[in-house]
Amino acid sequence: MTHPTFSNLRIDIDRLLGRLMALGQDGALEGGGVCRLALSDTDKLGRDRVVGWMKELGLTVTVDKVGNLKGVLPGREDLPPVMIGSHIDTVATGGLYDGNLGVLAGLEVVSVLKDSGYVPLRPIVVAAFTNEEGSRFAPDMMGSAVDRGSLPLDEALAIKDAEGFVVGEELARIGYAGETDPGHIDPYCFFEIHVEQGPVLEEEGDLIGAVTGVQGISWTEYVIEGESNHAGTTPMRLRHDAGFAAAAVAVAARKVAGAIGDSQVATVGVNELDPNLVNVIARKARMTVDLRNIDEVKLQQAESMLAAEIEAICKAEGVSYIARKLARFEPVMFDSSMVDLIAGTAKEQGYAVRRMPSGAGHDAQMFAPNCPTAMVFVPSKGGISHNIEEYTAPEELQAGANVLLQAALTKAEE
Ligand code: HGY
Ligand code: MN
Ligand code: MN
Ligand code: MN
């Protein structure tokens, strides 16, 4: 499986940890963790730092029109490159590893090549995609979706956050409205290493996940309009309570997940009431529902079941609602030969490996329809992520990055 010329190469875990901790300073939260929302001032700090490292490594750096960063290390021949990518934006209660590991492990691969003097046949590209999280600007995976053509650039640049800030203007404000056309590099193949963000590897005692595919994602925002009124004087029969309707929708989403079963998940992550006062019946509720399933047909079933529930809830309460689709990605399966490569490389290095789907969305899912794509998972302590307690042990990071190194160099010699 591995090539004699590079099978002895290994990553430097102290250097990788050093970069992870340094990047974790950009948007560091008081009690630990990181808040580096896409296109915020802290995202700029992180971008500046990563671009600095790319330049130190002698990479040719490009910033495209949606702010995707790419650093190119030439190969022996000018062939379609092996791309290693992920994201450095985080959710507001983010950890040190989600996304960041994927970009910094890519830089670590480049550092190992620089140290060893080994030049692979194909160029290596390290990419950091804009707004993978989608917490501030929906949809998620925005930069990689634009890069792969599944989201039009102009549409992305016009998207607003809840406060009315616009993607294109925020990119310019932080100095990352690049000149290059997104998607200017079509990779030979794509790798993403990522923390699992779930409990499976830890519970099963496996060290490496050879990811088989990524769940489909359906994000919908509901703005429910009722009638504000006095909490004490308004008889129950006369209420049009947007807050109650929103709560009933959350219960319905949970019910739908139970009815569909298997890998179906449903989350109400946003639920804002207006005027949000103890003695006022809410006139308005803005909420979101995140539905996911690895099976597209079941995901569609979940969407239509929930739609029927919401229609009935709002009718019964005498409130109106507007639904707005924030994101919709179909499930993807990764190229089986790439999954085999990850599993085989991990086994060769003596790591317990399991094939598994990803519950979280990833930039890799945007590349899967275009080119052979693989993901390497490493365990998340307690299955925790999107939480400041997110943690993966150094030896686990080291194992995952070494599997990435060997797998990426194997492809770079094809
Ligand atoms: O929502 C997700 O799964 C990813 O973290 N954007
Ligand atoms: Mn991520
Ligand atoms: Mn995430
Ligand atoms: Mn990802």
Kindly give the number of the ligand 1 atom that is closest to the alpha carbon of 98: 5
| pTM for the model | 0.94
Residues contacting ligand 1 via CB (< 6 Å): 132-134, 140, 360-361
Residue 259, helix vs strand vs coil: helix
pLDDT tens track for 235-267: 999 999 999 999 999 999 999 999 999 999 999
CA of 141, closest atom in ligand 1: 6
Digit-coded pLDDT (tens) for 201-228: 999 999 999 999 999 999 999 999 999 9
Whose Cα sits closest to atom 5 in ligand 1? 133
**Measuring from atom 1 of ligand 1, which residue has the nearest CA?**
361
Annotated binding site for Zn(2+): 87, 98, 133, 194, 386
State which residues of the chain have pLDDT below 50: 1-2
Ligand 2 centroid, distance to 294 Cα (angstroms):
17
Q: To 10 degrees, what angle do helices 394-412 and 336-348 make?
A: 120
What is the reported pLDDT for 5? Answer: 79
Q: Which atom of ligand 1 is nearest to the CA of 91?
A: 5
Q: Does residue 145 contact residue 85 with C-beta atoms inside 8 Å?
A: no
Which residue's alpha carbon is nearest to atom 2 within ligand 1? Answer: 361
Q: Are strands 124-128 and 69-73 parallel, antiparallel or unpaired?
A: antiparallel
Which of 86, 133, 363 to probe ligand 1 with, by most ligand atoms within 8 A of CB? 133
Count of beta carbons in the 10 Å neighbourhood of residue 307: 13
Residue 263 structure tokens: 């890998």
In the chain, % of residues over pLDDT 70: 99
Determine the distance separating the centroid of ligand 3 and the alpha carbon of 231, expressed in angstroms.
Answer: 39
Residue 25 CA, ligand 4 centroid: distance in Å = 20
Which of ligand 1's atoms lies nearest the C-alpha of 134?
A: 6
Task: Return the best residue to mutate from 290, 326, 380, 386 for the ligand 1 pocket (most ligand atoms within 8 A of CB).
Answer: 386
Write a three-state SS string for 83-142.
EEEECCCCCCCECCCCCHHHHHHHHHHHHHHHHHCCCCCCCEEEEECCCCCCCCCCCCCH
The confidence score (pLDDT) of residue 1 equals: 45
- β-pairing verdict for 332-333 and 320-329: unpaired
Taking the centre of ligand 3 as the mean of its atom positions, its distance from the CA of residue 91, in whole angstroms, is 6
CATH class of 6-214+331-413: alpha beta
Ligand that lies nearest to the alpha carbon of residue 390, given by its number in the listed order: 3
For the segment 368-397, what is each residue's pLDDT rounded down to a tens digit?
Answer: 999 999 999 999 999 999 999 999 999 999
Q: Hey, what amino acid is at 286? A: R
Distance CA 350, CA 36 (A): 36
Protein residue with least CA distance to atom 6, ligand 1: 133
- Which atom of ligand 1 is nearest to 361's Cα? 3
Between the two ends of the chain, the Cα-to-Cα distance in Å is 12
Report which protein residue has its CA nearest ligand 1's atom 4.
361
Cα 195 to averaged position of ligand 2 atoms, centre (Å): 8
pLDDT at 4: 58
Q: Domain 216-329 is of which CATH architecture? A: 2-Layer Sandwich (3.30)
For the chain, the structural domain boundaries read 6-214+331-413, 216-329
